[in-house]
Amino acid sequence: MNDSTSSCPSICRIWTSSIGRKMLVALTGAGLCLFLLGHLIGNLLVFAGADMFNDYAEFLHQMMHGMGVWIARIGLLVMLVIHVAATISLTRENRAARESYEYKASIQTKKSSGMMIWSGLTILAFVIYHLLHFTVKIGNTYGSADRYLESVYREGETVLRSNAWQMVIDGFTWWPAVIFYIIAVSLLCSHLSHGVQSMFQTLGLRSKKTAGLLDKLSLGYAWFIWIGFLSIPIAIRIFGFGR
């Protein structure tokens, strides 16, 4: 049997096994958490001014001759879809098992797991909207208007580059976008406060000795992500930063 035929049954066994799906949820969750942290740190450069933020944006879009950022985006979407799909599958499986013999005790669990599913789906919708808003640039003039181009002097000549900083400033002057970001990021961080704890447990890093520390770490991480991401639209729309 060649490698291609043997790999398919292996992948199928991972998905059909509840342990395999839990590991998929934990590993994709870990990858998404690392991405969120790096993405937030990069986004916070908006407060450092247009030059630094645009340098950062230009670096991302020139990585691997422009392929790096798209590899990262596709990888993010694949991880997110696997994470949400595996979570929904596990939740349905657990719900079906409980309903047959433990109806009353499962009511609270169903509410919690149901919230995790809906927050996960909202996060997926948010990521798609975020890509359409700032990357594909649907419904705006970010890709064509002179306002979103910046002249920089480099190697003896003047060249044009994307003014990503101005895109962010203008993008968050629109109230509906700000409200949607607040809702989505709040749901994301609610998801993180529970999900990161579960991730540690699935990966075998949680014990009686480390439980308290990991719970505080999970909650602290969720608060850091929440404050960090929402500081940008709130600073722009409410306090007039960049305008």
Q: What is the pLDDT of residues 2-43, one digit of tens each?
A: 555 555 556 678 888 889 999 999 999 999 999 999 999 999
Q: Six-digit token pair at 12? A: 């199928």
- Percent of the chain beyond pLDDT 70? 81
Let me know if residue 74 belongs to a domain.
yes
Let me know if residue 5 belongs to a domain.
no
Does residue 75 carry a pLDDT above 60? Answer: yes
Q: Six-digit token pair at 32? A: 């998404």
Q: For the segment 107-162, what is each residue's pLDDT rounded down to a tens digit?
A: 554 555 556 667 667 777 777 777 776 776 676 666 666 788 888 877 778 888 88
Contact in structure between 161 and 55 (CB atoms under 8 Å): no
Q: Which domain holds residue 129?
A: 21-237
pLDDT at 160: 83
pLDDT at 99: 60
For residues 220 and 13, the model is more confident at 220
Q: Which helix (H) or strand (E) holds 158?
A: strand 157-162
Let me know if residue 216 belongs to a domain.
yes
Contact in structure between 113 and 91 (CB atoms under 8 Å): yes
Cβ burial, residue 205 (10 Å; 0-12/13-18/19+): exposed
Let me know if residue 79 belongs to a domain.
yes
For residues 85 and 103, the model is more confident at 85
Let me know if residue 124 belongs to a domain.
yes
Interstrand relation of 149-154 and 157-162 (parallel, antiparallel or unpaired):
antiparallel
pLDDT at 157: 82
CA angle 87, 92, 97 (to 5 degrees): 125
pLDDT at 159: 80
Q: Predicted confidence band at 178 (pLDDT cuts at 50, 70, 90)?
A: very high
Q: Predicted confidence band at 194 (pLDDT cuts at 50, 70, 90)?
A: confident
164 φ/ψ sector (left φ>0, alpha ψ -120 to 50, else beta): alpha
Mean predicted confidence (pLDDT) in 38-66: 93
pLDDT at 52: 95
d(CA 4, CA 145): 48
Helix, strand and coil percent figures for the chain, each rounded to 5: 80, 5, 15
How many CA atoms lie less than 13 Å away from 117 in the CB half-sphere? 15
Identify the DSSP state of 147.
G
Let me know if residue 9 belongs to a domain.
no
The tally of domains found in the chain comes to 1
Amino acid at 153: Y
Cite the DSSP H helix spans in 44-154: 50-62, 67-99, 106-131
pLDDT at 123: 73
Let me know if residue 139 belongs to a domain.
yes
